[in-house]
C-alpha cells in the first residue's frame, strides 16, 4: 500500500479489507481434509486422532462454504458451539493466525487447536510444574465429567470455581455456565483431555487478558492521541483565529485608509464642483444681465432700424435720382469723349500735315543741295582745267588729292578727287565695300559719327562750317505731308531722285531748281530720308497713324528691312545707321488706311541712350535679331527690358528674326525665337530683307493689331469705368 509520503507500508491482511489473496493463491494443493487424513494414517495415537477429528469438525463448521480456509468472520460461527464471546473468538483467531495474514489454513487451525492436547502427550518437552498443573486439570476435567452425568457435586463446583479463580475468568467471562458445562462434560467423558482443555482455557484467558490490557493501553494511547490532536487542533484553531483577526485588522486598516483617501478625494472634488457651480452661477447672473441689456438694446435697435429703414428709402430715392444724373453725365461725357477723340485725330492729322510740309521742305532743300553740289562739281572741274594749264602748280594738286582719299566719312569728298576730277562710280563702290560697317548719318543729315572726328569738308573757302548737331526727337513728330493734296506727285518720285543724294551735309541753300542726278554710290543712299512713297492702292488719306520704333543689335538688318518694306528693294552693304531715321508708309488694313511712321534706330551701343527716348511715344516696337548671329538673339532680352523700362507692357512688340535666306549659317533655331516670343507675349516672325519673305506680313500683322487695339480702347473709353486693357499680341 502506498502511503502519501511514498513509503510502502505493509500491514497484516485483515478479513474484509484485503484483496482476497487467500491461501489458495499460495498453491495449497492439498485439501485440508486430505492432509488431516494423511496425518491420521501417520499418527497412530487415538487421542490425537480424536483431537484432529474435533479440530476438523470445528474447521468445517467455520468453513461452511468449503473454501479451504477460515476468515475472521467465519470464526464467529463457533460462537454457538463454544462458550466464547465474539470478542474472545476474535482473540482466538489472532492467536491461531500464526503468520498473521488474516486467514487460517487447516494446518494453522489444527496445529493451534491440537497444541494444547499434544503438549500433554510429550511431557519431556514440558517443565515439571506444567505437568503437575496438567494433571491437576485432568482431574478437574474428570470431576466435571462426572458431575455432568448426574448432579454436580460440591467438590466439583469448588474445583471449577478454583479453576476459574486461577484463570481469572470472572473478569473476562460474564456467563461461566457454558464453560462449566463443557468442562463437566469433558471431565466426565474424556477426563484425559481435561488438563489440555484447562491449559487451553488458561492460555485463552491469559491471552484475552493481554488483549484486554493491550486494548486498554491502545484506548489510553488513542485517548492521549485524541487529546493531543484536540490540543493541536485547538492550537491551530487559535492560531488561525489569530491570523484571521490580524488579517481582518489589516484589511480594516487598509480599507479605512482607502476610504479616507477616497473621501478626501471626493471632498476635494466636491469643493471643486462647488467652486465651479459658484462660477457658473456668477456667469449665469452675468449672462442674465447681458440678456436684459441686449433686450433693451434690441428695443433700441428696433427703433433705430425703423429709422434707418426710412433713411434707406430716402437714400434709395436719392440714389435713383443720382443715377439718373449720372446717366446724363455719362452721356455728356461720352459725347465729350467722342469730341475729344475727333479733336485728337484732327490734331494728329494736323501734326502729320505739318511734319509732312517740313519733310517736303527738307526734300526740296536736299534737292537744292544736290543742285549746289553739282554746280560745285562743275566749278571744280573748271578750276581743275585751269590748274592743269598751270604746270607749276602740278605737284601741289597731287598732294591735295592724296589727303582727300583718307576721309572715308566725308561725303562731298567722295565726288571730288584731289586733282578736281570726278571719281568713277566703281571706284567709290570699292571704297564702300572695303569698309563693311561704315556709319551713315542721322535724320537731319548732320554727321553723328564719332569715329571720324574732324572730317571736314575742305571747300574752297576752308573747312566746311558744321551746323549745330541735333537729333530729331519723336516728340516733334515730323511726318511727311502725306495728307496734303499735292503730296503724291513729287513724293512718288523721291526714291529714285534721292538715290544720289548724300546725307553728309545739308546746306540751307534755297531756290536751286531740283536736278535729276545719276546715282553715284550704293552706300550713298541717305538712311535718314523718308520713304515717302505711298501705296498705289490707297488713293485716300490715312485715317490713323501709328508710330513704330525699330530696335535690335547693329547689322541685324533693320535699315535693310525698312528699305525692303518701303521700297521693295535690297541693297547689300548698307552703312550703319547713325542716330535715328524714319520712314512713313501707308498700308491698307481691313478697308482702312493706316500710316506707319517707322523709326529706324542705330543698333550701335553708343546710340542706346538716344534710342531709349524714342520708345516713350511709340505705339509699337519691333525688336529684330539676326538668326545667323547668336549674340544678336541673346541681346533681345536686353532690348525688351529697355522697352519695358520706358513704356511698361502697354506697347505691342513684334519680334523679327532676319536673314532667313541665309539658312546655312543659321545659329538661332526657330523654336528658340518662338519660345521667347511666347514667354514675353510677342508677335513673332522670321523674315528676310534680302528676299522680302515675311516683311509685309509681319508689319501688317502689327498694324492690324495696333488698329484693333485702338478700336478696343476707343470702345472702352466710351464706356465709363472700364479702363483699357492691353491685348495679347501673339494670341
Ligand atoms: N543675307 C542677308 N543679309 C542682310 C539681310 N538684311 C540685311 N542684311 C545685311 O546685313 C548688313 C547690315 O544691314 P543693315 O540694314 O545696315 O543693318 P542695321 O540693323 O540697320 O544696322 P545698324 O544701322 O547699325 O543698326 C548689311 O550688309 C546687309 O546687306 C537679309 O535679309 N539677308
Ligand atoms: Ca494464517
Ligand atoms: Mg541701320
> How do residues 623-676 score in pLDDT, each as one tens digit?
999 999 999 999 999 999 999 998 888 899 999 999 999 999 999 999 999 999
Is 50 exceeded by the pLDDT of residue 532?
no
* CB count in 10 Å sphere of residue 527: 26
Residue of 404 and 410 predicted with greater confidence? 404
Q: Which ligand lies nearest the alpha carbon of 23?
A: 2
Give the pLDDT band (50/70/90) at residue 700.
very high
For residues 277-312, b (16+ Cβ closer than 10 Å) or e, as one string? Answer: eeeeeeeeeeeeeeeeeeeeeeeeeeeeeeeeeeee
Ligand 1 site, residue 689, Cβ cutoff 6 A: yes
Cα distance between residue 188 and residue 138, in whole Å: 11
**Ligand closest to CA 101:** 2
Which tops the pLDDT comparison, 374 or 312?
A: 312
Q: What pLDDT score does 167 carry?
A: 77
pLDDT at 383: 87
- Cβ 117 under 6 angstroms from ligand 1: no
473 three-class SS: coil
Q: Is pLDDT of 156 > 70?
A: yes
Q: What is the pLDDT of residue 82?
A: 77
Q: Tell me which of 689, 694, 696, 698 to substitute to probe ligand 1's pocket, judged by most ligand atoms within 8 Å of the beta carbon.
A: 689
Tell me the average pLDDT across 34-55: 61
CB of 694 closer than 6 A to ligand 1?
no
Nearest CA to ligand 1 atom 12: 555
Q: From the CA of 104, which ligand is nearest? A: 2
**pLDDT surpassing 70 at residue 604:** yes
Q: For residue 624, which atom of ligand 1 is closest to its CA?
A: 19
Going by pLDDT thresholds of 50, 70 and 90, the confidence category of residue 152 is: low
The mean predicted confidence, pLDDT, of the chain is 72
Tell me what pLDDT residue 387 has. Answer: 83
- Residue 155's pLDDT is 81
Q: Which of 322-336, 411-425, 525-539, 716-730 is modeled with the greatest confidence?
A: 322-336
What residue owns the CA closest to ligand 1's atom 9?
557
Among protein residues, the one whose CA lies closest to atom 6 of ligand 1:
557
In angstroms, how far is CA 292 from the centroid of its own chain?
Answer: 53
Least reliable range by pLDDT among 42-46, 94-98, 203-207, 237-241: 42-46
Residue 148 above 90 pLDDT?
Answer: no
Counting from 1 in the atom list of ligand 1, the atom nearest the Cα of 687 is: 31
**Mean pLDDT of the 105-120 span:** 71
pLDDT of residue 457: 35
Tell me, what's the pLDDT at 179? 82
Ligand lying nearest the CA atom of residue 656:
1
What's the gap in Å between 581 CA and the centre of ligand 2? Answer: 160
pLDDT band at 617 (very low <50, low <70, confident <90, very high): confident
Query: What is the rounded average pLDDT of the residues 418-438?
Result: 37
528 pocket-lining for ligand 1 (C-beta < 6 Å): no
User: Could you tell me if 445 and 528 are in contact, meaning their C-beta atoms sit under 8 angstroms apart?
Assistant: yes
- pLDDT score of 13: 37
Q: What is the per-residue pLDDT for 350?
A: 80
Across 207-216, 269-278, 446-455, least confident range: 446-455
CA 462, distance to chain mean position in Å, is: 89
**In sequence order, which residues have a C-beta less than 8 Å from that of residue 479 and are 6 or more positions away?**
351, 352, 353, 354, 355, 356, 359, 545, 584, 595, 597
pLDDT at 394: 63
Q: Is 505 in the pocket of ligand 1 (CB under 6 A)?
A: no
Here the cell at position 665 is: 549659317
Q: Residue 72, SS3?
A: coil
For the stretch 130-140, pLDDT in tens is: 444 454 444 44
Question: Starting at the edge strand that comes first in sequence, how are the strands of the sheet with 592-601 ordered?
Answer: 580-589, 592-601, 544-552, 620-626, 653-658, 683-686
The answer on pLDDT for 30 being more than 60 is no
Question: Does ligand 1 have an atom closer than 6 angstroms to the CB of 554?
Answer: yes
- Output phi, psi for 683, to 5 deg: -85, 140
User: Grid coordinates in use for 281?
Assistant: 452661477
Say how many Å lie between the CA of residue 449 and the centre of ligand 3: 13
Q: Is the CB of 574 under 6 A from ligand 1?
A: yes
Task: Give residue 98 CA to ligand 2 midpoint distance, Å.
Answer: 6
> Does the beta carbon of 522 lie inside 6 Å of ligand 1?
no
Q: Which backbone phi and psi does 85 adopt, to 5 degrees?
A: -75, 170
Lowest mean pLDDT, pick from 288-302, 323-337, 717-731: 717-731
Lowest-pLDDT range, 216-220, 250-254, 356-360, 433-437? 433-437
- CA 525 / ligand 3 centre spacing (Å): 11
**Is residue 639 within 8 Å of residue 680, measured between CB atoms?**
no
Q: Which of 434, 560, 689 to mutate to test the pocket of ligand 1 (most atoms within 8 A of CB)?
A: 560
pLDDT band at 246 (very low <50, low <70, confident <90, very high): very high
Alpha carbon dihedral 37, 116, 57, 144, in 10-degree steps, equals: 130
Lowest mean pLDDT among 69-78, 294-303, 400-409, 449-458: 449-458
CA nearest to 443, candidates 602, 616, 553:
602
Neighbours of 677 (CB within 10 A): 21
pLDDT score at 117: 55
**Mean of pLDDT values over 528-556:** 69
For residue 574, which atom of ligand 1 is closest to its CA?
16
| Dist. CA 244–CA 250, nearest whole Å | 10
pLDDT at 24 over 50: no
Do domains 49-118 and 544-716 share one topology? The answer is no
Nearest to 706 by CA among 729, 731, 678: 729
Q: 566 in ligand 1 pocket by Cβ < 6 Å?
A: no
Q: Is 557 in the pocket of ligand 1 (CB under 6 A)?
A: yes
Residue with cell 469448588: 158
Look at residue 208 in the predicted model and tell me its pLDDT: 83
Q: Is the CB of 558 under 6 A from ligand 1?
A: yes
SS3 call for 560: helix
With a 6 A CB cut-off, is 659 part of the ligand 1 pocket?
yes
For the Cβ of 523 lying below 6 angstroms from any atom of ligand 1, the answer is no
Between 451 and 375, where is the model more confident?
375
- β-strands 580-589, 592-601: how paired? antiparallel
Closest ligand to Cα 661? 1
Ligand 1 closest atom vs CA 600: 20
CA nearest 552: which of 457, 689, 428?
689
556 in contact with ligand 1, CB cutoff 6 A:
yes
Question: What are the pLDDT digits (tens) for 480-520?
Answer: 333 333 333 333 333 333 333 333 333 333 333 333 333 33
Q: What does the domain layout of the chain look like in residue ranges?
A: 49-118, 544-716
DSSP 4: T
Q: What is the ipTM of this complex?
A: 0.96
Q: How far is CA 705 from CA 355, 548, 562, 642, 644, in A?
A: 25, 12, 19, 22, 19
Nearest atom of ligand 1 to the alpha carbon of 602: 25
Taking the model in full, what pTM does it have? 0.39
pLDDT at position 434 is 37
Average pLDDT of the residues in 338-348: 87
Return the CATH fold of 49-118: Recoverin; domain 1 (1.10.238)
Residue of 503, 558, 573, 574 to test ligand 1 pocket, by largest number of atoms within 8 Å of CB: 574
- Ligand lying closest to the C-alpha of residue 106: 2
- Phi and psi at 512, nearest 5°, equal -80, 130
How much is the pLDDT for 81? 78
Q: If you search the block for the grid coordinates 482476497, which residue do you land on? A: 20
C-alpha angle 52-53-58 in degrees, rounded to nearest 5: 95
Specify the ligand 1 atom closest to the Cα of 691.
31
pLDDT at 682 over 60: yes
pLDDT of residue 191: 82
DSSP assignments along 571-623, one per residue: -SSPPBP-SEEEEEEEEEETTEEEEEEEEEEP-SGGGHHHHHHHTTT-SEEEE
Cell numbers 433705430 correspond to 304
695: left (phi over 0), alpha (psi -120 to 50) or beta: alpha
Residue 41 pLDDT exceeds 50: no
Domain 544-716 coded CATH 3.40.50.300: yes
> Are 639 and 656 a contacting pair, CB within 8 Å?
no
Given this model, what pLDDT does residue 250 score?
93
Ligand 3 centroid from CA 439, angstroms: 9
Measured CA to CA, the distance from residue 270 to residue 146 in angstroms comes to 113
CB 412 within 8 A of CB 505: yes
Bridge partners, 153 (sequence order) = none
**Beta strands of 199-244 (E only): which ranges?**
none
pLDDT of residue 540: 63
Quick one: cell of 74?
467465519
Confidence of residue 289 (pLDDT cuts 50, 70, 90): very high
Amino acid at each position: 500500500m502506498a502511503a502519501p509520503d511514498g513509503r510502502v507500508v505493509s500491514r497484516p491482511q485483515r478479513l474484509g479489507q484485503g484483496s482476497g489473496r487467500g491461501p489458495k493463491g499460495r498453491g495449497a494443493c492439498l485439501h485440508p481434509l486430505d492432509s488431516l487424513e494423511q496425518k491420521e494414517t501417520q499418527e497412530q495415537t487415538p487421542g490425537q486422532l480424536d483431537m484432529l477429528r474435533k479440530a476438523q469438525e470445528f474447521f468445517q463448521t467455520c468453513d461452511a462454504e468449503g473454501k479451504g480456509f477460515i476468515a475472521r468472520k467465519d470464526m464467529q460461527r463457533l460462537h454457538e458451539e463454544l462458550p466464547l464471546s465474539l470478542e474472545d473468538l476474535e482473540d482466538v483467531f489472532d492467536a491461531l493466525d500464526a503468520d498473521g495474514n488474516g486467514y487460517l489454513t487447516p494446518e494453522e487451525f489444527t496445529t493451534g487447536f491440537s497444541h494444547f492436547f499434544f503438549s500433554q502427550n510429550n511431557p519431556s518437552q514440558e517443565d515439571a510444574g506444567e505437568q503437575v498443573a496438567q494433571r491437576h486439570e485432568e482431574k478437574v476435567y474428570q470431576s466435571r465429567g462426572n458431575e455432568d452425568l448426574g448432579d454436580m457435586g460440591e467438590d466439583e463446583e469448588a474445583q471449577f470455581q478454583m479453576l476459574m479463580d486461577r484463570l481469572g475468568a470472572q473478569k473476562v467471562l460474564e456467563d461461566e455456565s457454558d464453560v462449566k458445562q463443557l468442562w463437566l462434560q469433558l471431565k466426565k467423558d474424556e477426563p484425559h483431555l481435561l488438563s489440555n482443555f484447562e491449559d487451553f482455557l488458561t492460555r485463552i484467558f491469559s491471552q484475552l487478558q493481554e488483549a484486554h490490557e493491550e486494548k486498554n493501553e491502545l484506548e489510553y494511547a488513542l485517548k492521549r492521541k485524541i487529546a493531543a490532536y484536540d490540543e493541536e487542533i485547538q492550537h491551530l484553531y487559535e492560531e488561525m483565529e489569530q491570523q484571521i483577526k490580524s488579517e481582518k485588522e489589516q484589511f480594516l486598516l487598509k480599507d479605512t485608509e482607502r476610504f479616507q483617501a477616497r473621501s478626501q478625494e471626493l471632498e476635494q472634488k466636491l469643493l471643486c464642483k462647488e467652486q465651479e457651480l459658484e462660477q457658473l452661477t456668477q456667469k449665469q447672473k452675468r449672462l442674465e444681465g447681458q440678456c436684459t441689456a441686449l433686450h433693451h438694446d434690441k428695443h433700441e435697435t428696433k427703433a433705430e432700424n425703423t429709422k434707418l429703414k426710412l433713411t434707406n428709402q430716402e437714400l434709395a430715392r436719392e440714389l435713383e435720382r443720382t443715377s439718373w444724373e449720372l446717366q446724363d453725365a455719362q452721356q455728356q461725357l461720352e459725347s465729350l469723349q467722342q469730341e475729344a477723340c475727333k479733336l485728337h485725330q484732327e490734331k494728329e492729322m494736323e501734326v502729320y500735315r505739318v511734319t509732312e510740309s517740313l519733310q517736303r521742305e527738307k526734300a526740296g532743300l536736299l534737292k537744292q543741295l544736290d543742285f549746289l553740289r553739282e554746280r560745285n562739281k562743275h566749278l571744280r572741274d573748271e578750276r581743275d582745267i585751269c590748274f592743269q594749264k598751270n604746270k607749276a602748280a602740278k605737284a601741289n594738286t597731287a598732294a591735295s588729292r592724296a589727303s582727300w582719299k583718307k576721309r572715308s566719312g566725308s561725303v562731298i569728298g567722295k565726288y571730288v578727287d584731289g586733282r578736281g576730277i570726278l571719281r568713277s562710280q566703281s571706284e567709290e563702290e570699292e571704297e564702300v565695300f572695303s569698309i563693311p560697317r561704315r556709319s551713315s548719318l542721322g535724320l537731319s543729315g548732320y554727321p553723328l559719327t564719332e569715329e571720324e572726328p574732324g572730317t571736314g569738308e575742305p571747300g574752297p573757302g576752308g573747312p566746311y562750317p558744321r551746323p549745330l548737331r541735333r537729333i530729331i526727337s519723336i516728340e516733334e513728330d515730323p511726318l511727311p505731308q502725306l495728307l496734303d493734296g499735292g503730296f503724291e506727285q513729287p513724293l512718288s518720285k523721291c526714291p529714285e531722285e534721292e538715290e544720289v543724294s548724300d546725307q553728309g551735309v545739308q546746306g540751307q541753300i534755297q531756290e536751286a531748281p531740283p536736278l535729276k542726278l545719276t546715282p553715284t554710290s550704293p552706300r550713298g543712299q541717305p538712311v535718314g530720308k523718308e520713304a515717302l512713297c505711298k501705296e498705289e492702292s490707297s488713293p485716300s488719306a490715312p485715317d490713323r497713324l501709328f508710330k513704330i520704333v525699330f530696335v535690335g543689335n547693329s547689322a541685324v538688318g533693320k535699315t535693310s528691312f525698312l528699305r525692303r518694306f518701303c521700297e521693295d528693294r535690297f541693297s547689300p552693304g548698307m552703312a550703319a545707321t547713325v542716330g535715328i531715321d524714319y520712314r512713313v508708309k501707308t498700308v491698307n488694313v481691313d478697308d482702312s488706311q493706316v500710316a506707319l511712321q517707322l523709326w529706324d534706330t542705330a543698333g550701335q551701343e553708343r546710340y542706346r541712350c538716344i534710342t531709349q527716348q524714342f520708345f516713350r511715344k511709340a505705339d509699337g516696337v519691333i525688336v529684330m535679331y539676326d538668326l545667323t548671329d547668336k549674340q544678336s538673339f541673346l541681346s533681345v532680352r536686353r532690348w525688351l527690358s529697355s522697352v519695358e523700362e520706358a513704356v511698361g507692357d502697354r506697347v505691342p512688340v513684334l519680334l523679327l528674326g532676319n536673314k532667313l535666306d541665309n539658312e546655312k549659317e543659321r545659329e538661332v533655331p526657330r523654336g528658340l525665337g518662338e519660345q521667347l516670343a511666347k514667354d514675353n507675349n510677342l508677335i513673332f516672325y522670321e523674315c528676310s530683307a534680302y528676299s522680302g519673305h515675311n516683311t509685309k506680313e509681319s508689319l501688317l500683322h502689327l498694324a492690324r493689331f495696333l488698329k484693333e487695339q485702338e478700336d478696343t480702347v476707343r470702345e472702352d473709353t466710351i464706356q465709363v469705368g472700364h479702363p483699357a486693357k492691353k491685348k495679347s499680341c501673339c494670341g
